[in-house]
Copies of this chain bind each other. A is one copy, B any other.
Amino acid sequence: MALTFQIEARSGGARVGRLMTPHGEVETPVFMPVGTQATVKGIGQEALEELGAQLLLANTYHLMLRPGHETVARLGGLHRFMAWERALLTDSGGYQVFSLAERRKVTEEGVEFRSHLDGALHFLSPEKAMEVQQALGADVIMALDECTEYPAGPERARESLELTLRWGARCREVSNQQSAIGSQRRQNRGPSTARSFVPQGGTRSRSARDDKQKEQALTEQAFTEQALFGIVQGGMHTELRRESAERTVAMGFDGYAIGGLSVGEPRELTREMVAATLPHLPAERPRYLMGVGTPEEIVEFAAQGVDMMDCVLPTRAGRHGLLYTSEGRINIKLARFAEDGGPPDPNCGCRVCARYSRAYLRHLYVAGEALAGVLNTLHNLAYYLDTMRAVRHAIKLGNLAEFLSGYRSRNLSSPLAVPGEDPA
């Protein structure tokens, strides 16, 4: 296994764990801020460190198109490129191909699509998704899946599930072969060689041969250190979810993701599908619920035993002037905050709440100032990361049930308790 995962405490289905990655340990349950284009929008990496983020997600689709995975590889991989020394996870690119790209054509081999940026033709196969993610060099990479659309009847969901399983097997195969090659080469050359090829400084003086050597070394390094996660599909059908989970687990991945949720279904159905899937994932491996969710949801799913989650909500909402607080969600642009000298969240210790007022944040937002998005995003990330910290603490102390009931009553009392959804 490329990834060691130790479970340190349990409370019901929930657990506190420790993911050991080549770029440091990650305490779980963990919320991963989304750094789509190798940046969490508006936030410097030093601020993310200060917030205590241990693991970021970056999007393979975006980075493959711009600046290009070969460019990132030549610059020493994604960690070095974005100057982030802690852990990284990349998705397979599949989700964005299905949601952003134009003129998609799905075949057994993979997906042909046109870039949303310039219309250029691209092809993403399981092997290509692996190649790109290996060039990027994140600590955790994802198998290519087909994200089943919602709604999808049982036949369509089954078809999609089977394709995802075949693609997953091809990704697993690439990873196995390369692990073997990498391991063999490392034995021949000693373990430290690969790392020493990471380029330092500018590129002007490098010859083509140097470049080739470096790329090969970097690729080998990636092969042998990247953990590969499989993805469970099955639409909104509990029986298919179970089957997908069991057959994915049978392939032996380093961790397992629940995909195909948060695609427009009612949240009750999301919860049902998660509950139908989790029991069929091995307890000793990390479980990753993709693209979820609100603060309430990340708490609930962590309580059910999910170890990893990611979502654009805290960052996207921040850019739109929505703040998650201990008193519910607030819309900072409302006139009632114009002369409110109090902190955004009176119970938050983040650098934004410690220094700035609601009145100032409202002014920045209304005046169209860039600092509005920066400060709102910083606070929202602090709120999400603090929430997960509190969940881990409650699991360790064994009072998760108490924490949950307190958290539910506090947040559900707000008229905006479930952000991003219609009141209905």
Residues of A within 8 A of B (CB): 37-39, 41-46, 62, 66-67, 71, 74-76, 80-83, 199-204, 338-342, 351, 355-357, 359-360, 362-364, 366-367, 369-371, 373-375
Closest residue of chain B to A200 (Cβ to Cβ) is B341
Q: Which residues of chain B come closer than 8 Å to A366, judged between CB atoms?
A: 66-67
Contact A201 B341 (CB under 8 A): yes
In the assembled complex, the Cα of A342 lies from the Cα of B201 at a distance in Å of: 5
Report which of B67, B199, B351 forms a contact with A363, defined as CB distance below 8 A.
B67
Contact sample, A vs B, 9 pairs, CB 8 Å cutoff = A45-B355, A67-B362, A67-B367, A81-B363, A82-B360, A202-B342, A203-B341, A204-B340, A370-B374
Report which of B46, B71, B338, B339 forms a contact with A339, defined as CB distance below 8 A.
B71
Contact A370 B370 (CB under 8 A): yes
Contact B356 A83 (CB under 8 A): yes
In the assembled complex, the Cα of A367 lies from the Cα of B241 at a distance in Å of: 37
Q: Shortest CB–CB separation between residue A380 and chain B, in angstroms?
A: 15
In the assembled complex, the Cα of A83 lies from the Cα of B338 at a distance in Å of: 15
A67-B362, A71-B338, A370-B374 given; name 5 further pairs at CB < 8 Å.
A42-B369, A42-B374, A43-B371, A66-B367, A67-B359
Contact A37 B369 (CB under 8 A): yes
Contact A83 B201 (CB under 8 A): no
Contact A76 B374 (CB under 8 A): no
Report which of B71, B81, B355 forms a contact with A46, defined as CB distance below 8 A.
B355
**Which has the most chain B C-beta neighbours within 10 Å: A39, A204, A339?**
A339
Q: Shortest CB–CB separation between residue A35 and chain B, in angstroms?
A: 10
Contact A351 B46 (CB under 8 A): yes
Contact A371 B41 (CB under 8 A): yes
Q: Which residues of chain B come closer than 8 Å to A338, judged between CB atoms?
A: 67, 71
Contact A360 B44 (CB under 8 A): no
Contact B370 A83 (CB under 8 A): no
Q: Which residues of chain B come closer than 8 Å to A37, judged between CB atoms?
A: 363-364, 367, 369
Q: Which residues of chain B come closer than 8 Å to A204, judged between CB atoms?
A: 340
Contact B75 A374 (CB under 8 A): no
Q: Shortest CB–CB separation between residue A339 and chain B, in angstroms?
A: 5
In the assembled complex, the Cα of A75 lies from the Cα of B26 at a distance in Å of: 42
Report which of B44, B46, B355 forms a contact with A83, defined as CB distance below 8 A.
B355
In the assembled complex, the Cα of A36 lies from the Cα of B105 at a distance in Å of: 50
Report which of B83, B341, B371, B373 forms a contact with A75, defined as CB distance below 8 A.
B341
In the assembled complex, the Cα of A355 lies from the Cα of B47 at a distance in Å of: 13
Assuming A360-B81, A366-B66, A370-B370, is B339 touching A75 (CB within 8 A)? yes
In the assembled complex, the Cα of A90 lies from the Cα of B377 at a distance in Å of: 29
Q: Which residues of chain B come closer than 8 Å to A39, judged between CB atoms?
A: 364, 367, 369, 371
Q: Which residues of chain B come closer than 8 Å to A44, judged between CB atoms?
A: 351, 371, 374-375
Assuming A83-B360, A351-B46, is B369 touching A203 (CB within 8 A)? no
